[in-house]
Copies of this chain bind each other. A is one copy, B any other.
């Protein structure tokens, strides 16, 4: 068991250092338990701003914070850098790609991963936007497309290089469509005098009849209107049949020539529950009881995106607020159990939701009230800034944003790290041959 603290106090293992796992650990800090937090990254990612990394607006480091730093003054929390693979429920053991770790109590908080719904070609050819690696890979690819387009004499190939298709009109798809538009028609416009920007297209495909359908109707309408005003080609009721390296085919048989399909159409629960023979819903989540425990295992809690938490008729959405609040409740319940008391039911407090579409444009819903436009954008900015863990990150993000806002400049448009397959960065683009798999070989998507 390496150097993990062995004490009389029960050991609580938390799998996952996302919003849920981190807030559970914070709740357990300096309490009479030994905590082991497992994550396969040594940093927490502020996923709400991931799309800005993919739009060259923030650096990867801006939205990451080292887990060990967070708990530097907390003696009862150990961190283990490992990938938890499956749980031996009978023997209370977690098998990782490194050592095996035992638990008295377990909080499963490994979150969600991209769901492709088995649409052919998505896994192989579409870009994802769910991890820091994926965001950086996508950003590098976008810039490579412009490098290639500037050197490309063939109009068809050039237009394909300059067509960017985003699949999924949820928060991630909408926010990325807005940010990408501002990247392209702002800093890139200045960087590539040899590119005809009237050839550049951003297309947002949504299978349903409206965007961000979890938001109130007026916010949905505002979002679509705003994106269209910015020049995004928003196509509703558009379903993807198949993705190829050089095109995406829609179910109505239309096809769009493009080298860039960004897939934000769905997520599902991370695989550890399924791998451990814990029953999961069709979208890979674990049905928990009102206390957030799983059936038959009073010492195992599931929180955040991995949990399917029912509240009356609805299942709570996969958002940061649910993760944070369920993480805190699970931790409190374990402390109650340790003290000989009984767990309490989880009560979710909806603090509202928000979506940002671009420069000065956002939609916010709090209770029955909604706001759109500049005020909503300011609200969005302030809330996200203060929720970013770590003062330093706050300062850096503010500088990057201010830079961007006042100078219409993107500070971080480097193709780095090189993730093209051959020697020169982006040389594969220059030859007009771009496949996601080429990047993946070197910058493996985890």
Contact = CB atoms under 8 A, between A and B. Distances in A.
Given A66-B191, A81-B147, A143-B42, A417 B392 contact: no
Contact of A415 (B42, B72, B395): B42
Contact of A418 (B133, B143, B191): B133
Contacts of A367: none
Interface string A26-70: 000000000000001111000000000000000111001010110
A349 interface: no
A194 B191 CA distance: 49
Contacts of A392: 399, 403, 409, 411
Nearest to A412: B61
A231 to B, nearest CB: 23
A395 B414 CA distance: 18
Contacts of A2: 150-153
A177 interface: no
Contacts of A66: 191, 413-414
Given A3-B194, A150-B2, A151-B98, A43 B416 contact: yes
Interface string A336-376: 00000000000000000000000000000000000000000
Interface stretch (A215-223, A289-297, A378-386, A426-434): A426-434
A99 B59 CA distance: 31
Contact of A97 (B78, B152, B399, B423): B423
A253 interface: no
Contacts of A97: 422-424, 427, 430
Interface in A82-128: 82-83, 96-99
Contact of A3 (B143, B150, B190): B150
A64 B416 contact: yes
A151 B82 CA distance: 11
A409 B425 CA distance: 33
A25 interface: no
Given A152-B2, A191-B66, A83 B414 contact: no
Interface stretch (A13-21, A167-175, A304-312, A438-446): A438-446
Contact of A425 (B40, B153, B417): B40
Give the size range of A's interface with the partner: 35 or more
Nearest to A390: B411
A136 B444 CA distance: 16
Given A41-B425, A97-B422, A417 B443 contact: yes
Contact of A42 (B68, B147, B396): B147
A3 B68 CA distance: 50
B147 A430 contact: no
A403 to B, nearest CB: 6
A418 B446 CA distance: 9
Interface in A382-414: 392, 395-396, 399, 403, 409, 411-414
Interface of A: 2-3, 40-43, 59-61, 64, 66, 68-69, 72, 75, 78, 80-83, 96-99, 132-133, 136, 143, 147, 150-153, 190-194, 392, 395-396, 399, 403, 409, 411-418, 422-427, 430-431, 442-444, 446
Q: Which 4 A/B pairs are nearest by Cβ-Cβ distance?
A: A83-B424, A2-B151, A98-B430, A40-B424
Given A40-B424, A41-B415, A72-B191, 12 more contacts: A42-B143, A43-B416, A60-B416, A61-B411, A75-B193, A81-B425, A81-B427, A98-B151, A133-B416, A395-B399, A399-B399, A442-B442
12 contacts: A3-B194, A42-B425, A43-B416, A60-B414, A66-B414, A75-B193, A80-B151, A81-B427, A392-B399, A395-B399, A442-B442, A443-B443
